[in-house]
Structure 1
Amino acid sequence: MKYTQLGRAGLKVSRLVLGTMNFGPQTDEATSHGIMDAALDAGLNFVDTANVYGWGENKGRTEEIIGSWFAKGGGRRDKTVLATKVFGNMAAHGDAWPNHDRLSAVNIRRAVEASLKRLQTDYIDLYQFHHIDRPTPFEEIWQAIEVLIKQGKILYAGSSNFPGYKIAQANEIAGRHGGMGLISEQCLYNLAERRAEMEVIPAARDYGLGVIPWSPLHGGLLGGVLKKDAEGKRRRDGRSASALENTKVREQVQAYEDLLDKHGLEPGETALAWLLTRPGVTGPIVGPRTQAQLDSALRAVELELSEELLASLDEIFPGPGPSPEAFAW
């Protein structure tokens, strides 16, 4: 497994991130534990989750599955860089109780204690703000985070789904108060969705944040969806089903699959490998439901893409171009 540094922090992480969103809703506890063991054995040390994963009445279930895995011992916790998130409403049955969501100091304090209990650990390596909270000032957010850092309950803070200007604002305010600020941004970024290249990734790079792309296969669209459809193997849900109704998107995906077939490459592995060539990217989040999906993702780390192939991929899925020169004013 290849490793890199997470932004400007001294944290060394694998170039793939094990996403756990499917643990609980689609993958049972025993299978989830097997996937985490296999990932750790392969050197994948970066695990990402969120307090709301499990969803609905099962919110928190994913963190519980990770916690029971840590409880098995064997150095699992010490070998793992653990990331979770705060923002979503965690009140029972989804009741919208005041102060049970967002980024107020009181909810951050409540949420981190609950996550630590579910995760069966005494600290979180990377505590991420799942979304921006416009009404709550960053002065309050950072004050709460600094208390948790001093208590040893979290080590670093990161963002998720932040626009570029919020990354800048968060770090400027943290800097004025002597804090380290954000060290990472988790954003939607893949071959078919490259808008992050306009502002989010430039802001992240300027402020020394590592970029952690989520949905690297764009809801399955980049995972060989047309070939699977022809073979009767495609799942009929997710973003890919509706996206393929767009003629232009279908043509792009067909050209993508044809190109990779010509080179003897797997679409999903190529999409992950492409992200690993992008400036500023720490590693994409993969969310395997099965051991076979994990094995495929691990192969992508060793895949080398030629300059000719990268140029062809740019032709099929052109990005917005360099910023700010390519902005449409």
Structure 2
Amino acid sequence: MKYTQLGRTGLKVSRLVLGTMNFGPQTNEPDSHAIMDAALDAGINYFDTANVYGWGENKGRTEEIIGNWFAKSPDHRDKTVLATKMYGNMGPEGVPAWPNHDKLSALNIRRAVDSSLKRLQTDYIDIYQFHHVDRATPFEEIWQAIDTLIQQGKILYVGSSNFPGYKIAQASEIAARRGGTIGLVSEQCLYNLAERRAEMEVIPAAQEYGLGVIPWSPLQGGLLGGVIKKEVSGGRRASGRAADTLANPTSRAQIQAYEDLLDKHGIEPGEAALAWLLTRPGVTGPIVGPRTAEQLESALRAVELELSEEILTSLDEIFPGPGPSPEAFAW
């Protein structure tokens, strides 16, 4: 496994991040523990989760599965850089959130971190992340709550997720003015070959303020994982966002060109999509969310995959990025 610094921090993290969103809903606890064992054995030390994972009536279940894995061995927690997220309503599904039971008020931050610590069976969280922007809560209040948690030893670093560039800047500037906390150290954003809008402002803002970029959905919901080839061979058919995209003839032709290019070079599409992200400026490492041990093995191969300049150029031709702002939308 290869390692890098997380943004401007001294924290060393693996270039692949183990995403755990499937633990519980898609993958049972014993298999989830086996995947975490295999990830740690392979050198992946960065594990990502969220308090809402488990979804529906099972919100929090994923954190519980990870907590049970930590309880098996002190070595597990010691070797893991643990990241979790908060923002969403943790109450019963379909019931409106009770006041102050969601978003980023100081009260909910305090409540959410204590609940996550209990489920995760740990004394501290390495990277505590805001899952979404809260337009109603000022960053002065948010950073005051975070300062307290850091002083209490409950969290070490803070990250954002799904923040636009201007909110990364706003949060960072207010943190700098207040002093104390280091401010945001990472941003999780939707970023992959087929979805490159983050290159316009989010990634430049993250680089400017020293945040590591953690792309989620690196295969665009399976679209970049050889979906047409699997469909033709009678394998798992596309669903959700990938199926909707393939229903468009122009988009289908684009994905077909992508698969044909990689087939020509003998490279698995999913591995190429991850390897491409690892070449992108500012990217710390993509989040991979394996449902099976085999999917984890495929992701691990991507770390060692070197894409030639010819392939990189061809990928840019198939999936042209928007370019940086303001040039992307102005002269």
Could you say what the CA RMSD is over the residues aligned between the two structures, in angstroms?
A: 1.0
Provide, for residues 156-195 of structure 1, a one-character-per-residue CA deviation record: whole Å limited to 9, x for no partner.
Answer: 0000000000000000000000131100000000000000
Match of 1:57 in 2: 57
Partner SS for 1:187? strand
SS in 1 for 2:300: helix
Quote the Cα distance in structure 2 between the aligned partners of 1:85 and 1:73. 24
Aligned-pair identity (%): 81
For residue 72 of structure 2, give the secondary structure of its aligned residue in structure 1.
coil
Answer whether contact 1:31 1:290 (CA < 8 A) is retained: yes
The aligned counterpart of 1:278 is: 280
- The answer to whether the 8 Å contact 1:198/1:327 transfers is no
> For the residues of structure 2 that align with 1:88 and 1:311, how far apart are their CA atoms?
40
Residues 56-95 of structure 1 aligned to structure 2 (within 5 Å): 56-95=56-95
* 2:166 corresponds to 1:165: yes
Q: Distance in 2 between matches of 1:42 and 1:145?
A: 33
Match of 1:241 in 2: 243
**Conserved 8 A contact 1:161-1:186:** yes
Aligned to 1:265: 267
Tell me the CA shift for residue 92 of structure 1.
Answer: 3.3
Which residues in structure 2 correspond to 1:155-304 (within 5 Å)?
155-178=156-179, 179-304=181-306
State how far apart, in whole Å, the 2-side matches of 1:240 and 1:92 are: 29
CA contact (8 A) 1:220 1:238 kept: no
- SS of the equivalent of 1:158 reads strand
Per-residue Cα deviation, 1:225-282 (whole angstroms, up to 9, x for no partner): 0000101112442311111111221011000000000000000000000000000000
* CA contact 1:126–1:156 (8 Å) conserved in 2: yes
- Separation in 2 of the partners of 1:197 and 1:275? 12
Distance 1:235 1:81 in 2: 35
Residue correspondence of structure 1 range 142-157 to structure 2 within 5 A: 142-157=143-158
Letter in 2 for 1:32: S
SS at the partner of 1:125?
strand
Q: Which residue number corresponds to residue 321 of structure 2?
A: 319
Instruction: Tell which deviates more after alignment, 229-238 or 109-118.
Output: 229-238
Change (3 A) 1:243 1:9: same
- Residue type at the aligned position of 1:91: G
* Cα distance in 2 for residues equivalent to 1:325 and 1:212: 24
CA contact under 8 A between 2:21 and 2:49: conserved in structure 1? yes
Is the 2:227–2:238 contact (alpha carbons within 8 Å) kept by the matching residues of 1?
Answer: no
Q: Do the aligned partners of 1:13 and 1:45 also contact (CA within 8 Å) in 2?
A: yes
Distance 1:136 1:74 in 2: 37
Separation (CA, whole Å) in 2 of partners of 1:68 and 1:156: 23
The answer (yes or no) to whether the contact 2:223–2:242 under 8 Å persists in 1 is yes
Contact 1:21 1:54 in 2 (8 A): yes
Q: Does 1:141 align with 2:139?
A: no
Q: Is the 8 Å Cα contact of residues 56 and 92 (structure 2) preserved in structure 1? A: no
Aligned length: 329
Cα shift at 1:74:
4.7
Conserved? CA contact 2:274–2:302, under 8 Å: yes
Cα distance in 1 between the residues matched to 2:175 and 2:237: 44
Structure 2 residues without counterparts, runs of 5 or longer: none
**Cα distance change, pair 82–294 in 1 and its aligned pair in 2 (3 A):** same
TM-score, scaled relative to structure 2: 0.98
Identify unmatched segments of 5+ residues in structure 1: none
The separation in 1 between residues aligned to 2:172 and 2:248, in whole angstroms, is 39
